[in-house]
Amino acid sequence: MTDPNAMPQPQTKPGTASAEDGFVILDGPNGVAVTMTSDAAAQTGHSLITAAEAARRQLDERPVASSN
Note down pLDDT in tens along the chain; length 68 residues.
567 678 888 999 999 999 999 999 999 988 999 999 999 999 999 999 999 999 999 999 988 777 66
pLDDT at site 6: 83
As a whole number of angstroms, the distance between CA 54 and CA 10 comes to: 16
pLDDT at site 4: 63
The model carries a pTM of 0.75
pLDDT at site 1: 57
As a whole number of angstroms, the distance between CA 7 and CA 13 comes to: 18
Q: Are 63 and 47 in contact (CB under 8 A)?
A: no
pLDDT at site 16: 96
